[in-house]
Chain A
Protein backbone atom coordinates (compact mmCIF):
# COMPACT_ATOMS: atom_id res chain seq x y z
CA UNK A 1 0.00 0.00 0.00
CA UNK A 2 2.76 2.37 0.97
CA UNK A 3 4.41 1.77 -2.32
CA UNK A 4 1.30 2.61 -4.26
CA UNK A 5 0.86 5.87 -2.43
CA UNK A 6 4.48 6.77 -2.81
CA UNK A 7 4.24 6.20 -6.52
CA UNK A 8 0.98 8.13 -6.71
CA UNK A 9 2.57 10.99 -4.84
CA UNK A 10 5.49 11.06 -7.19
CA UNK A 11 3.26 11.08 -10.23
CA UNK A 12 1.08 13.77 -8.81
CA UNK A 13 3.86 16.10 -7.81
CA UNK A 14 5.90 15.74 -10.92
CA UNK A 15 3.21 15.50 -13.50
CA UNK A 16 3.21 19.22 -14.03
CA UNK A 17 6.79 19.00 -15.18
CA UNK A 18 6.14 16.19 -17.59
CA UNK A 19 5.70 17.45 -21.12
CA UNK A 20 2.21 17.85 -22.49
CA UNK A 21 0.72 14.84 -24.14
CA UNK A 22 -0.20 14.79 -27.78
CA UNK A 23 -2.84 12.66 -29.45
CA UNK A 24 -2.41 10.71 -32.64
CA UNK A 25 -5.41 8.96 -34.15
CA UNK A 26 -4.55 6.57 -36.95
CA UNK A 27 -7.09 5.01 -39.31
CA UNK A 28 -9.68 4.59 -36.62
CA UNK A 29 -12.63 2.43 -37.67
CA UNK A 30 -15.53 1.34 -35.52
CA UNK A 31 -18.60 -0.51 -36.71
CA UNK A 32 -21.96 -0.97 -35.11
CA UNK A 33 -23.27 -3.97 -36.95
CA UNK A 34 -22.97 -3.31 -40.67
CA UNK A 35 -22.83 0.45 -40.20
CA UNK A 36 -19.54 2.21 -39.80
CA UNK A 37 -19.84 4.79 -37.04
CA UNK A 38 -16.29 5.89 -37.60
CA UNK A 39 -14.67 5.24 -40.92
CA UNK A 40 -10.93 5.42 -41.17
CA UNK A 41 -10.43 8.65 -39.25
CA UNK A 42 -6.93 9.99 -38.77
CA UNK A 43 -5.91 13.20 -37.11
CA UNK A 44 -3.39 14.62 -34.70
CA UNK A 45 -3.74 16.97 -31.80
CA UNK A 46 -0.61 18.75 -30.74
CA UNK A 47 0.16 18.98 -27.09
CA UNK A 48 -1.45 22.06 -25.58
CA UNK A 49 -3.88 22.49 -28.41
CA UNK A 50 -7.65 22.87 -28.05
CA UNK A 51 -9.41 20.91 -30.76
CA UNK A 52 -13.07 21.35 -31.54
CA UNK A 53 -14.80 18.29 -32.79
CA UNK A 54 -17.78 19.16 -34.90
CA UNK A 55 -20.36 17.20 -36.75
CA UNK A 56 -24.07 16.64 -37.02
CA UNK A 57 -25.71 14.16 -34.68
CA UNK A 58 -24.62 10.63 -35.40
CA UNK A 59 -21.47 11.68 -37.23
CA UNK A 60 -19.21 9.60 -35.03
CA UNK A 61 -18.04 12.23 -32.56
CA UNK A 62 -19.04 10.35 -29.44
CA UNK A 63 -17.70 7.05 -30.74
CA UNK A 64 -14.33 8.64 -31.41
CA UNK A 65 -14.28 10.20 -27.97
CA UNK A 66 -15.21 6.95 -26.29
CA UNK A 67 -12.33 5.30 -28.08
CA UNK A 68 -10.02 8.13 -26.96
CA UNK A 69 -11.11 7.55 -23.39
CA UNK A 70 -10.37 3.82 -23.68
CA UNK A 71 -13.99 2.90 -23.11
CA UNK A 72 -14.51 1.14 -26.41
CA UNK A 73 -11.98 -0.61 -28.54
CA UNK A 74 -12.00 0.19 -32.26
CA UNK A 75 -11.99 -2.65 -34.77
CA UNK A 76 -9.18 -1.13 -36.75
CA UNK A 77 -6.65 1.59 -36.27
CA UNK A 78 -5.01 2.87 -33.17
CA UNK A 79 -4.91 5.90 -30.93
CA UNK A 80 -1.75 7.03 -29.24
CA UNK A 81 -1.92 9.48 -26.38
CA UNK A 82 1.47 10.75 -25.30
CA UNK A 83 2.96 7.82 -27.20
CA UNK A 84 0.94 5.18 -25.36
CA UNK A 85 -1.41 3.07 -27.44
CA UNK A 86 -4.98 2.51 -26.27
CA UNK A 87 -4.56 -1.12 -27.24
CA UNK A 88 -1.48 -1.77 -25.19
CA UNK A 89 -1.47 0.65 -22.28
CA UNK A 90 -5.02 1.79 -21.55
CA UNK A 91 -4.22 1.79 -17.83
CA UNK A 92 -1.51 4.43 -18.31
CA UNK A 93 -3.66 6.55 -20.61
CA UNK A 94 -6.59 6.48 -18.21
CA UNK A 95 -4.40 8.03 -15.53
CA UNK A 96 -3.58 10.98 -17.75
CA UNK A 97 -6.94 11.81 -19.23
CA UNK A 98 -9.95 13.54 -17.84
CA UNK A 99 -13.13 12.51 -19.58
CA UNK A 100 -16.59 13.99 -19.48
CA UNK A 101 -18.93 11.49 -21.14
CA UNK A 102 -21.80 12.59 -23.32
CA UNK A 103 -24.71 12.32 -20.92
CA UNK A 104 -22.58 13.11 -17.92
CA UNK A 105 -23.32 10.01 -15.85
CA UNK A 106 -22.90 10.61 -12.12
CA UNK A 107 -23.86 8.75 -8.98
CA UNK A 108 -27.15 10.48 -8.31
CA UNK A 109 -27.40 9.40 -4.69
CA UNK A 110 -24.04 10.77 -3.57
CA UNK A 111 -23.32 14.29 -2.49
CA UNK A 112 -20.83 16.35 -4.47
CA UNK A 113 -17.99 16.21 -1.99
CA UNK A 114 -18.27 12.46 -1.40
CA UNK A 115 -18.46 11.85 -5.11
CA UNK A 116 -15.42 13.96 -5.91
CA UNK A 117 -13.52 12.37 -3.05
CA UNK A 118 -14.35 8.94 -4.43
CA UNK A 119 -13.02 9.93 -7.84
CA UNK A 120 -9.91 11.48 -6.26
CA UNK A 121 -9.20 8.27 -4.38
CA UNK A 122 -9.71 6.19 -7.50
CA UNK A 123 -7.04 8.35 -9.09
CA UNK A 124 -4.77 7.67 -6.14
CA UNK A 125 -4.26 11.30 -5.32
CA UNK A 126 -2.21 11.25 -2.13
CA UNK A 127 -4.38 11.55 0.97
CA UNK A 128 -2.97 14.82 2.22
CA UNK A 129 -3.62 16.52 -1.11
CA UNK A 130 -7.20 15.34 -1.55
CA UNK A 131 -8.87 18.02 0.57
CA UNK A 132 -6.97 20.76 -1.20
CA UNK A 133 -7.85 19.40 -4.63
CA UNK A 134 -11.49 19.03 -3.66
CA UNK A 135 -11.76 22.61 -2.52
CA UNK A 136 -9.90 23.72 -5.63
CA UNK A 137 -12.32 21.92 -7.90
CA UNK A 138 -15.35 23.17 -6.03
CA UNK A 139 -14.03 26.69 -6.46
CA UNK A 140 -12.95 26.39 -10.07
CA UNK A 141 -16.22 24.83 -11.13
CA UNK A 142 -18.36 27.21 -9.09
CA UNK A 143 -19.93 24.60 -6.85
CA UNK A 144 -19.32 26.31 -3.53
CA UNK A 145 -22.94 26.93 -2.64
CA UNK A 146 -24.03 23.42 -3.52
CA UNK A 147 -21.22 21.23 -2.31
CA UNK A 148 -23.20 19.32 0.29
CA UNK A 149 -26.19 18.68 -1.92
CA UNK A 150 -26.98 15.31 -3.39
CA UNK A 151 -26.17 15.16 -7.07
CA UNK A 152 -29.74 14.29 -8.01
CA UNK A 153 -30.91 17.51 -6.36
CA UNK A 154 -28.77 19.63 -8.65
CA UNK A 155 -29.94 21.32 -11.80
CA UNK A 156 -28.52 20.09 -15.06
CA UNK A 157 -26.06 22.95 -15.27
CA UNK A 158 -24.64 22.17 -11.85
CA UNK A 159 -24.47 18.49 -12.65
CA UNK A 160 -22.47 19.43 -15.71
CA UNK A 161 -20.06 21.32 -13.46
CA UNK A 162 -19.71 18.27 -11.25
CA UNK A 163 -18.94 16.30 -14.40
CA UNK A 164 -16.22 18.79 -15.27
CA UNK A 165 -14.88 18.73 -11.74
CA UNK A 166 -14.54 14.94 -11.77
CA UNK A 167 -12.75 15.13 -15.11
CA UNK A 168 -10.31 17.73 -13.78
CA UNK A 169 -9.68 16.56 -10.25
CA UNK A 170 -6.47 14.65 -10.95
CA UNK A 171 -5.05 17.46 -13.05
CA UNK A 172 -4.97 15.45 -16.28
CA UNK A 173 -2.73 16.28 -19.23
CA UNK A 174 -5.45 15.54 -21.73
CA UNK A 175 -9.06 16.56 -21.39
CA UNK A 176 -11.79 14.94 -23.45
CA UNK A 177 -15.13 16.69 -23.20
CA UNK A 178 -18.15 15.35 -25.02
CA UNK A 179 -20.62 18.19 -25.50
CA UNK A 180 -19.67 20.00 -22.32
CA UNK A 181 -22.25 22.77 -22.59
CA UNK A 182 -25.45 20.88 -23.33
CA UNK A 183 -28.24 21.74 -20.98
CA UNK A 184 -26.61 24.88 -19.66
CA UNK A 185 -28.17 28.30 -19.66
CA UNK A 186 -26.44 31.06 -21.65
CA UNK A 187 -24.61 32.43 -18.61
CA UNK A 188 -23.34 29.04 -17.65
CA UNK A 189 -22.28 28.36 -21.22
CA UNK A 190 -20.12 31.48 -21.15
CA UNK A 191 -18.65 30.47 -17.80
CA UNK A 192 -17.86 26.94 -18.92
CA UNK A 193 -16.30 28.28 -22.12
CA UNK A 194 -14.12 30.60 -20.10
CA UNK A 195 -13.16 27.69 -17.90
CA UNK A 196 -12.27 25.51 -20.88
CA UNK A 197 -10.23 28.32 -22.38
CA UNK A 198 -8.34 28.75 -19.14
CA UNK A 199 -7.71 25.04 -18.84
CA UNK A 200 -6.79 24.83 -22.51
CA UNK A 201 -3.78 27.05 -21.92
CA UNK A 202 -1.97 24.25 -20.15
CA UNK A 203 -3.61 21.09 -21.37
CA UNK A 204 -4.46 19.25 -24.52
CA UNK A 205 -8.21 19.49 -24.92
CA UNK A 206 -10.62 17.82 -27.32
CA UNK A 207 -14.18 18.99 -27.10
CA UNK A 208 -17.12 18.03 -29.20
CA UNK A 209 -20.12 20.10 -29.99
CA UNK A 210 -22.61 20.79 -32.67
CA UNK A 211 -22.70 24.44 -31.79
CA UNK A 212 -20.31 26.26 -34.08
CA UNK A 213 -20.05 29.46 -32.16
CA UNK A 214 -18.91 27.51 -29.17
CA UNK A 215 -16.15 25.75 -31.01
CA UNK A 216 -15.09 28.98 -32.63
CA UNK A 217 -14.95 30.70 -29.28
CA UNK A 218 -12.90 28.08 -27.50
CA UNK A 219 -10.85 26.09 -29.97
CA UNK A 220 -7.56 26.61 -31.76
CA UNK A 221 -8.47 24.12 -34.43
CA UNK A 222 -11.65 22.64 -35.81
CA UNK A 223 -12.26 19.18 -37.11
CA UNK A 224 -15.54 18.53 -38.86
CA UNK A 225 -16.61 14.98 -39.30
CA UNK A 226 -19.59 13.61 -41.14
CA UNK A 227 -20.72 10.04 -41.65
CA UNK A 228 -17.66 8.85 -39.81
CA UNK A 229 -15.15 10.70 -41.98
CA UNK A 230 -13.10 13.84 -41.51
CA UNK A 231 -14.40 16.52 -43.87
CA UNK A 232 -12.47 19.54 -42.70
CA UNK A 233 -9.43 19.98 -40.55
CA UNK A 234 -8.21 23.50 -39.90
CA UNK A 235 -8.67 26.72 -38.01
CA UNK A 236 -11.86 28.75 -38.26
CA UNK A 237 -9.95 31.32 -40.33
CA UNK A 238 -8.70 28.75 -42.79
CA UNK A 239 -12.16 27.31 -43.17
CA UNK A 240 -13.59 30.71 -43.96
CA UNK A 241 -10.93 31.45 -46.52
CA UNK A 242 -11.50 28.11 -48.15
CA UNK A 243 -15.22 28.65 -48.44
CA UNK A 244 -14.86 32.28 -49.47
CA UNK A 245 -13.77 31.44 -53.00
CA UNK A 246 -16.71 33.38 -54.39
CA UNK A 247 -17.39 36.96 -53.54
CA UNK A 248 -20.95 37.59 -52.44
CA UNK A 249 -22.25 41.09 -51.89
CA UNK A 250 -25.46 42.56 -50.72
CA UNK A 251 -26.21 45.44 -53.05
CA UNK A 252 -28.80 48.14 -52.81
CA UNK A 253 -29.27 50.30 -55.91
CA UNK A 254 -31.75 53.11 -56.45
CA UNK A 255 -32.40 55.72 -59.09
CA UNK A 256 -33.90 53.42 -61.70
CA UNK A 257 -36.28 50.56 -62.33
CA UNK A 258 -35.25 47.46 -60.44
CA UNK A 259 -35.62 45.23 -63.46
CA UNK A 260 -33.31 47.41 -65.54
CA UNK A 261 -30.80 47.48 -62.75
CA UNK A 262 -31.02 43.73 -62.51
CA UNK A 263 -30.29 43.33 -66.19
CA UNK A 264 -27.43 45.80 -66.19
CA UNK A 265 -25.76 44.00 -63.36
CA UNK A 266 -26.30 40.62 -64.96
CA UNK A 267 -24.44 41.93 -67.99
CA UNK A 268 -21.26 42.41 -66.01
CA UNK A 269 -18.74 39.75 -67.01
CA UNK A 270 -17.57 38.83 -63.54
CA UNK A 271 -21.05 38.36 -62.11
CA UNK A 272 -22.27 34.81 -61.86
CA UNK A 273 -25.72 35.16 -60.32
CA UNK A 274 -27.97 37.94 -59.10
CA UNK A 275 -30.88 37.34 -56.73
CA UNK A 276 -33.53 39.64 -55.36
CA UNK A 277 -33.20 39.92 -51.64
CA UNK A 278 -35.77 42.66 -51.19
CA UNK A 279 -37.79 43.72 -54.19
CA UNK A 280 -39.33 46.81 -52.55
CA UNK A 281 -36.11 48.31 -51.29
CA UNK A 282 -34.26 47.22 -54.41
CA UNK A 283 -31.72 45.05 -52.70
CA UNK A 284 -29.90 42.34 -54.60
CA UNK A 285 -27.46 39.61 -53.79
CA UNK A 286 -24.64 39.48 -56.29
CA UNK A 287 -22.33 36.52 -56.51
CA UNK A 288 -19.20 36.75 -58.61
CA UNK A 289 -17.26 34.01 -60.31
CA UNK A 290 -14.47 32.41 -58.33
CA UNK A 291 -11.52 34.69 -57.58
CA UNK A 292 -13.14 37.70 -59.22
CA UNK A 293 -14.42 40.89 -57.69
CA UNK A 294 -17.30 42.83 -59.19
CA UNK A 295 -17.35 45.76 -56.81
CA UNK A 296 -15.60 48.25 -59.03
CA UNK A 297 -17.52 47.29 -62.18
CA UNK A 298 -20.81 47.53 -60.32
CA UNK A 299 -19.86 51.00 -59.17
CA UNK A 300 -18.91 52.06 -62.68
CA UNK A 301 -22.10 50.60 -64.14
CA UNK A 302 -24.19 52.51 -61.64
CA UNK A 303 -22.40 55.75 -62.40
CA UNK A 304 -22.78 55.22 -66.14
CA UNK A 305 -26.54 54.66 -65.76
CA UNK A 306 -27.13 57.37 -63.19
CA UNK A 307 -28.07 54.91 -60.47
CA UNK A 308 -26.85 55.36 -56.98
CA UNK A 309 -25.76 52.77 -54.51
CA UNK A 310 -27.69 52.66 -51.23
CA UNK A 311 -25.91 49.69 -49.80
CA UNK A 312 -22.92 47.53 -50.57
CA UNK A 313 -21.93 44.94 -48.03
CA UNK A 314 -19.77 41.92 -48.56
CA UNK A 315 -21.54 38.88 -47.11
CA UNK A 316 -19.18 36.91 -44.98
CA UNK A 317 -19.62 33.19 -45.29
CA UNK A 318 -20.70 32.02 -41.91
CA UNK A 319 -19.25 28.95 -40.33
CA UNK A 320 -22.78 27.65 -40.16
CA UNK A 321 -22.99 27.73 -43.93
CA UNK A 322 -19.69 25.94 -44.33
CA UNK A 323 -20.82 23.39 -41.83
CA UNK A 324 -24.12 22.87 -43.57
CA UNK A 325 -22.53 22.69 -46.96
CA UNK A 326 -20.01 20.13 -45.87
CA UNK A 327 -22.26 17.89 -43.89
CA UNK A 328 -25.39 17.66 -45.95
CA UNK A 329 -23.95 15.83 -48.94
Chain B
Protein backbone atom coordinates (compact mmCIF):
# COMPACT_ATOMS: atom_id res chain seq x y z
CA UNK B 1 0.00 0.00 0.00
CA UNK B 2 2.80 2.39 0.93
CA UNK B 3 4.40 1.83 -2.47
CA UNK B 4 1.17 2.65 -4.29
CA UNK B 5 0.81 5.86 -2.29
CA UNK B 6 4.41 6.89 -2.95
CA UNK B 7 4.15 6.27 -6.67
CA UNK B 8 0.83 8.08 -6.86
CA UNK B 9 2.22 11.03 -4.90
CA UNK B 10 5.23 11.34 -7.16
CA UNK B 11 3.10 11.09 -10.25
CA UNK B 12 0.63 13.67 -9.00
CA UNK B 13 3.42 16.08 -8.13
CA UNK B 14 4.72 15.51 -11.65
CA UNK B 15 1.35 16.49 -13.14
CA UNK B 16 1.45 19.80 -11.32
CA UNK B 17 5.15 20.45 -11.87
CA UNK B 18 4.62 20.13 -15.59
CA UNK B 19 1.56 22.41 -15.39
CA UNK B 20 -0.46 19.64 -16.99
CA UNK B 21 -2.60 19.37 -13.88
CA UNK B 22 -3.47 23.07 -13.77
CA UNK B 23 -4.15 23.24 -17.49
CA UNK B 24 -6.45 20.27 -17.27
CA UNK B 25 -8.42 21.54 -14.30
CA UNK B 26 -8.83 25.02 -15.75
CA UNK B 27 -9.75 23.77 -19.19
CA UNK B 28 -12.22 21.29 -17.83
CA UNK B 29 -13.96 23.82 -15.62
CA UNK B 30 -13.91 26.44 -18.38
CA UNK B 31 -15.43 24.11 -20.93
CA UNK B 32 -18.03 22.58 -18.73
CA UNK B 33 -18.95 25.92 -17.15
CA UNK B 34 -19.29 27.62 -20.50
CA UNK B 35 -21.58 24.99 -21.96
CA UNK B 36 -23.53 24.43 -18.79
CA UNK B 37 -24.30 28.03 -17.93
CA UNK B 38 -23.75 30.22 -20.93
CA UNK B 39 -23.85 28.65 -24.35
CA UNK B 40 -26.65 27.06 -26.37
CA UNK B 41 -29.15 24.82 -24.62
CA UNK B 42 -27.90 25.95 -21.26
CA UNK B 43 -29.28 25.14 -17.89
CA UNK B 44 -31.73 28.08 -17.83
CA UNK B 45 -33.13 27.25 -21.24
CA UNK B 46 -34.37 23.74 -20.53
CA UNK B 47 -36.34 24.77 -17.50
CA UNK B 48 -35.39 21.75 -15.43
CA UNK B 49 -33.14 21.68 -12.41
CA UNK B 50 -30.74 19.02 -13.55
CA UNK B 51 -27.12 18.83 -14.59
CA UNK B 52 -27.64 16.74 -17.73
CA UNK B 53 -25.82 19.28 -19.86
CA UNK B 54 -22.85 19.32 -17.54
CA UNK B 55 -22.69 15.56 -17.60
CA UNK B 56 -22.83 15.52 -21.37
CA UNK B 57 -19.99 18.03 -21.65
CA UNK B 58 -17.98 16.18 -19.03
CA UNK B 59 -18.66 12.90 -20.80
CA UNK B 60 -16.92 14.19 -23.92
CA UNK B 61 -14.23 16.41 -22.45
CA UNK B 62 -13.01 13.67 -20.10
CA UNK B 63 -12.83 11.35 -23.09
CA UNK B 64 -10.17 13.64 -24.53
CA UNK B 65 -8.48 14.73 -21.32
CA UNK B 66 -7.83 11.31 -19.86
CA UNK B 67 -5.74 9.95 -22.76
CA UNK B 68 -3.64 13.09 -22.66
CA UNK B 69 -2.88 12.34 -19.02
CA UNK B 70 -2.25 8.63 -19.34
CA UNK B 71 -0.22 8.85 -22.51
CA UNK B 72 2.96 9.46 -20.57
CA UNK B 73 2.33 7.35 -17.53
CA UNK B 74 4.00 4.11 -18.58
CA UNK B 75 5.60 5.26 -21.83
CA UNK B 76 7.65 7.72 -19.81
CA UNK B 77 8.96 4.96 -17.58
CA UNK B 78 9.69 2.74 -20.56
CA UNK B 79 11.43 5.44 -22.53
CA UNK B 80 13.49 6.84 -19.68
CA UNK B 81 14.42 3.37 -18.42
CA UNK B 82 13.04 4.28 -15.01
CA UNK B 83 10.88 1.18 -15.12
CA UNK B 84 14.05 -0.72 -14.29
CA UNK B 85 14.71 1.64 -11.42
CA UNK B 86 11.25 1.10 -9.95
CA UNK B 87 10.92 -2.61 -10.49
CA UNK B 88 14.25 -3.35 -8.84
CA UNK B 89 12.99 -1.57 -5.75
CA UNK B 90 10.50 -3.38 -3.53
CA UNK B 91 7.66 -2.57 -5.93
CA UNK B 92 5.52 -5.10 -7.74
CA UNK B 93 3.97 -4.66 -11.15
CA UNK B 94 0.56 -4.29 -9.57
CA UNK B 95 1.74 -1.62 -7.18
CA UNK B 96 3.29 0.34 -10.03
CA UNK B 97 0.17 0.17 -12.18
CA UNK B 98 -2.20 0.91 -9.33
CA UNK B 99 -0.04 3.86 -8.31
CA UNK B 100 -0.30 5.29 -11.80
CA UNK B 101 -4.01 4.56 -11.88
CA UNK B 102 -4.70 6.19 -8.53
CA UNK B 103 -2.70 9.33 -9.36
CA UNK B 104 -4.59 9.96 -12.59
CA UNK B 105 -7.87 9.23 -10.90
CA UNK B 106 -7.11 11.71 -8.14
CA UNK B 107 -6.29 14.37 -10.70
CA UNK B 108 -9.58 13.76 -12.54
CA UNK B 109 -11.43 13.91 -9.23
CA UNK B 110 -9.70 17.20 -8.49
CA UNK B 111 -10.94 18.52 -11.81
CA UNK B 112 -14.45 17.32 -11.11
CA UNK B 113 -14.59 18.51 -7.52
CA UNK B 114 -15.06 22.26 -8.15
CA UNK B 115 -18.02 21.48 -10.38
CA UNK B 116 -19.91 20.63 -7.21
CA UNK B 117 -20.46 24.38 -7.10
CA UNK B 118 -22.76 23.92 -10.10
CA UNK B 119 -24.71 21.41 -8.11
CA UNK B 120 -24.96 23.70 -5.13
CA UNK B 121 -26.00 26.70 -7.22
CA UNK B 122 -28.60 24.59 -8.94
CA UNK B 123 -29.85 23.42 -5.59
CA UNK B 124 -30.37 27.01 -4.51
CA UNK B 125 -32.38 27.74 -7.65
CA UNK B 126 -34.84 24.89 -7.65
CA UNK B 127 -35.64 21.45 -6.43
CA UNK B 128 -33.01 19.05 -7.65
CA UNK B 129 -33.14 15.35 -8.35
CA UNK B 130 -30.36 14.54 -5.89
CA UNK B 131 -29.94 10.82 -6.62
CA UNK B 132 -29.65 11.55 -10.34
CA UNK B 133 -26.86 14.04 -9.80
CA UNK B 134 -24.99 11.93 -7.30
CA UNK B 135 -25.23 8.90 -9.55
CA UNK B 136 -24.21 11.12 -12.45
CA UNK B 137 -21.01 11.97 -10.63
CA UNK B 138 -20.45 8.35 -9.76
CA UNK B 139 -20.97 7.57 -13.43
CA UNK B 140 -18.37 10.14 -14.45
CA UNK B 141 -15.90 8.73 -11.95
CA UNK B 142 -16.50 5.16 -13.12
CA UNK B 143 -16.16 6.21 -16.73
CA UNK B 144 -12.91 8.04 -15.91
CA UNK B 145 -11.56 4.95 -14.20
CA UNK B 146 -12.41 2.83 -17.25
CA UNK B 147 -10.63 5.20 -19.58
CA UNK B 148 -7.65 5.55 -17.26
CA UNK B 149 -7.33 1.76 -17.27
CA UNK B 150 -7.60 1.77 -21.06
CA UNK B 151 -5.07 4.60 -21.28
CA UNK B 152 -2.62 2.74 -19.06
CA UNK B 153 -3.00 -0.33 -21.22
CA UNK B 154 -2.25 1.71 -24.34
CA UNK B 155 0.74 3.37 -22.71
CA UNK B 156 2.20 -0.02 -21.87
CA UNK B 157 2.25 -1.24 -25.45
CA UNK B 158 4.85 1.19 -26.79
CA UNK B 159 7.28 3.75 -25.52
CA UNK B 160 5.83 6.51 -27.66
CA UNK B 161 3.34 8.85 -25.97
CA UNK B 162 1.77 9.78 -29.30
CA UNK B 163 1.01 6.15 -30.10
CA UNK B 164 -0.40 5.76 -26.61
CA UNK B 165 -2.61 8.83 -27.04
CA UNK B 166 -3.91 7.89 -30.45
CA UNK B 167 -4.52 4.25 -29.63
CA UNK B 168 -6.40 5.21 -26.47
CA UNK B 169 -8.59 7.57 -28.46
CA UNK B 170 -9.03 4.99 -31.21
CA UNK B 171 -10.06 2.16 -28.91
CA UNK B 172 -11.96 4.57 -26.71
CA UNK B 173 -14.13 6.00 -29.47
CA UNK B 174 -15.58 2.56 -30.11
CA UNK B 175 -16.86 2.37 -26.57
CA UNK B 176 -17.66 6.04 -26.43
CA UNK B 177 -19.71 6.42 -29.58
CA UNK B 178 -19.34 3.84 -32.32
CA UNK B 179 -20.88 0.87 -30.48
CA UNK B 180 -23.82 3.07 -29.63
CA UNK B 181 -24.27 4.10 -33.26
CA UNK B 182 -24.01 0.50 -34.43
CA UNK B 183 -26.45 -0.63 -31.76
CA UNK B 184 -29.04 1.97 -32.73
CA UNK B 185 -28.98 0.87 -36.34
CA UNK B 186 -29.10 -2.88 -35.76
CA UNK B 187 -31.71 -5.11 -34.24
CA UNK B 188 -31.93 -8.17 -32.09
CA UNK B 189 -28.90 -9.79 -30.57
CA UNK B 190 -26.30 -7.66 -32.40
CA UNK B 191 -28.09 -4.54 -31.27
CA UNK B 192 -28.20 -5.59 -27.66
CA UNK B 193 -24.59 -6.83 -27.66
CA UNK B 194 -23.29 -3.53 -29.02
CA UNK B 195 -25.59 -1.57 -26.78
CA UNK B 196 -24.27 -3.39 -23.73
CA UNK B 197 -20.69 -2.71 -24.86
CA UNK B 198 -21.34 0.97 -25.29
CA UNK B 199 -20.05 3.37 -22.66
CA UNK B 200 -22.82 5.86 -23.40
CA UNK B 201 -25.60 3.32 -22.75
CA UNK B 202 -24.24 2.62 -19.30
CA UNK B 203 -23.31 6.19 -18.52
CA UNK B 204 -26.71 7.52 -19.54
CA UNK B 205 -28.48 4.87 -17.55
CA UNK B 206 -26.50 5.83 -14.44
CA UNK B 207 -26.75 9.57 -14.93
CA UNK B 208 -30.49 9.26 -15.33
CA UNK B 209 -30.44 8.16 -11.73
CA UNK B 210 -30.99 4.47 -12.30
CA UNK B 211 -28.80 2.18 -10.25
CA UNK B 212 -28.31 -0.93 -12.31
CA UNK B 213 -25.87 -3.68 -11.41
CA UNK B 214 -25.25 -4.30 -15.10
CA UNK B 215 -23.68 -0.84 -15.49
CA UNK B 216 -21.38 -1.37 -12.58
CA UNK B 217 -20.30 -4.73 -13.91
CA UNK B 218 -19.53 -3.09 -17.25
CA UNK B 219 -17.32 -0.39 -15.72
CA UNK B 220 -15.69 -2.76 -13.30
CA UNK B 221 -14.81 -5.29 -15.97
CA UNK B 222 -13.36 -2.59 -18.17
CA UNK B 223 -11.19 -1.29 -15.32
CA UNK B 224 -10.01 -4.73 -14.31
CA UNK B 225 -9.35 -5.79 -17.87
CA UNK B 226 -7.37 -2.62 -18.65
CA UNK B 227 -5.23 -2.85 -15.55
CA UNK B 228 -4.67 -6.56 -15.87
CA UNK B 229 -3.70 -6.26 -19.54
CA UNK B 230 -1.21 -3.47 -18.82
CA UNK B 231 0.36 -5.54 -16.07
CA UNK B 232 0.63 -8.59 -18.32
CA UNK B 233 2.20 -6.52 -21.09
CA UNK B 234 4.79 -5.07 -18.75
CA UNK B 235 5.61 -8.55 -17.45
CA UNK B 236 5.97 -9.99 -20.94
CA UNK B 237 8.16 -7.06 -21.99
CA UNK B 238 10.54 -7.96 -19.22
CA UNK B 239 10.56 -11.61 -20.09
CA UNK B 240 11.63 -10.64 -23.57
CA UNK B 241 14.04 -7.84 -22.81
Contact = CB atoms under 8 A, between A and B. Distances in A.
Interface of A: 1, 4, 32, 66, 69-73, 91, 94-95, 97, 99, 101, 103, 105-110, 114, 118-119, 121-124, 166
A122 B90 contact: yes
A1 B4 CA distance: 13
Contacts of B81: 101, 103, 105
Given A71-B238, A124-B2, A109 B17 contact: yes
Nearest to A5: B2
Contacts of A99: 88
A4 B2 contact: yes
Contacts of B238: 71-73
B189 interface: no
Given A1-B1, A106-B82, A106-B85, A121 B6 contact: yes
Given A71-B87, A123-B90, 4 more contacts: A1-B1, A91-B92, A95-B90, A114-B13
Contacts of B14: 109
A259 to B, nearest CB: 61
B84 to A, nearest CB: 5
Interface string B1-17: 11100110010011001
Contacts of A119: 89
Contacts of A4: 1-2
Given A4-B1, A118-B6, A71 B89 contact: no
A121 B237 CA distance: 27
A99 B90 CA distance: 12
B88 A121 contact: no
B134 interface: no
Interface in B84-117: 84-92
B contact patch SS: helix
A97 B88 contact: yes
Interface string B147-166: 00000000000000000000
A88 B88 CA distance: 15
A170 to B, nearest CB: 9
Given A4-B1, A105-B80, A122-B90, A72 B85 contact: no
A158 B1 CA distance: 32
Contact of A66 (B17, B84, B90, B92): B84
A71 B90 contact: no
Contacts of A107: 10, 80, 82
A249 B187 CA distance: 95
A14 to B, nearest CB: 17
12 contacts: A1-B1, A1-B2, A71-B88, A91-B90, A94-B91, A99-B88, A101-B81, A101-B85, A105-B82, A109-B17, A122-B90, A123-B90
Interface of B: 1-3, 6-7, 10, 13-14, 17-18, 80-92, 238-241
Contacts of A70: 87-88
Nearest to B235: A73
Given A71-B238, A109-B14, A122-B3, A94 B80 contact: no
B82 A122 contact: no
Contact of A121 (B2, B86, B241): B2
Contact of A108 (B80, B83, B92, B240): B80
Contact of B89 (A72, A103, A123): A123
A94 B241 contact: no
Contacts of A101: 81, 84-85, 88
A106 to B, nearest CB: 7
Contacts of B88: 69-71, 94, 97, 99, 101
Contacts of A97: 88
Nearest to B5: A121
A122 B92 CA distance: 11
A101 B86 CA distance: 11
A94 B84 CA distance: 12
A95 B17 CA distance: 30
B215 to A, nearest CB: 33
B22 to A, nearest CB: 16
Nearest to A70: B88
A109 B238 CA distance: 25
A32 B14 CA distance: 35
A123 B17 CA distance: 24
Residue among B88, B92, B239 with max Cβ neighbours from chain A (10 Å)? B88
A159 to B, nearest CB: 12
Nearest to B85: A105
A298 B84 CA distance: 60
A98 to B, nearest CB: 9
A122 B6 contact: yes
Residue among A4, A97, A108, A123 with max Cβ neighbours from chain B (10 Å)? A123
